[in-house]
Amino acid sequence: MDLQRLMSLSRKAIDDYGMINEGDTVAVGVSGGKDSLTLLTALAGIRRFYPKKFSLQAITVDMGFPEAAEGLLPIRRLCEDLDVPYTVVPSQIAEIVFEDRKEKNPCSLCAKLRKGAFNTAAKELGCNKVAYGHHKNDMVETLMLSLIYESRIYCFSPVLYLDRMDLTVIRPLIYVDESDIKGYAAANRLPVFKNPCPADGFTRREYVKQLIGEITKENPGARDRMHAAILRADLPGWPEKRNCQNNRNISE
């Protein structure tokens, strides 16, 4: 996938769900993973020609893993090339989760602490919106997680207002397949570095990812059909879609 295709899919999501308005300042959470870096380049590209003028801030929450420090310099250079201000927020999240609390299932607490630090930094930088790099595959995995472990039909919303923080979450990559993100990140040599978290690859989400992969292998197109079903499901909390065109083109 090239940048033009990436921006086209991202802009469609932005337009369909009214993610960006005139004068918005959008904080992009940059973890160093392929998803967040791809999102950053997509929004930086869209910013150049989008009719509603908006600005960007890139924010990394430093979890406190010493081995991650080296990966931040290439990200800073990328932000300079994209003309996006870059802020690193120091934290002791790794120490709290793995040493102090010794969490057996650390992901929930870690995510809560990271989001709190990120949202606080976004507010301090004058942002009114925060962009997450959740993509098409994440949507299907979240649906499956909720079915298997929570006995409910749920998927995160493309747009979500956080009233306690007075911030709006947007997810512009919801029409983009993870395989395309991998290809884009590799082809454009984005400064991706491996997640140093010791729990990486040993989570329920990883199990569900592999399960969906097996289902799709045996039933070609199954993941795309699940994604299309989510978009048509009129789930609670989702905004009304502004573009009522058939969704088949975004699931192909």
Domain count, the chain: 1
Higher pLDDT, 140 or 94: 140
The CATH number linked to 219 is 3.40.50.620
pLDDT in tens, 87-127: 999 887 767 776 665 656 666 777 788 888 899 999 999 99
Q: Which domain holds residue 93?
A: 3-250
Which of 13-22, 139-148, 235-244 has the weakest average pLDDT? 235-244
Predicted TM-score (pTM) of the model is 0.89
Q: What is the 3-state secondary structure (H, E, C) of the chain?
A: CCHHHHHHHHHHHHHHCCCCCCCCEEEEECCCCHHHHHHHHHHHHHHCCCCCCCEEEEEEEECCCHHHHHHHHHHHHHHHHHCCCEEEEECCHHHHHHHHCCCCCCHHHHHHHHHHHHHHHHHHCCCCEEECCCCHHHHHHHHHHHHHHHCCCCCCCCEEEECCCCEEEECCCCCCCHHHHHHHHHHCCCCCCCCCCCCCCCCHHHHHHHHHHHHHHHCCCHHHHHHHHHHHCCCCCCCCCCCCCCHHHHCC
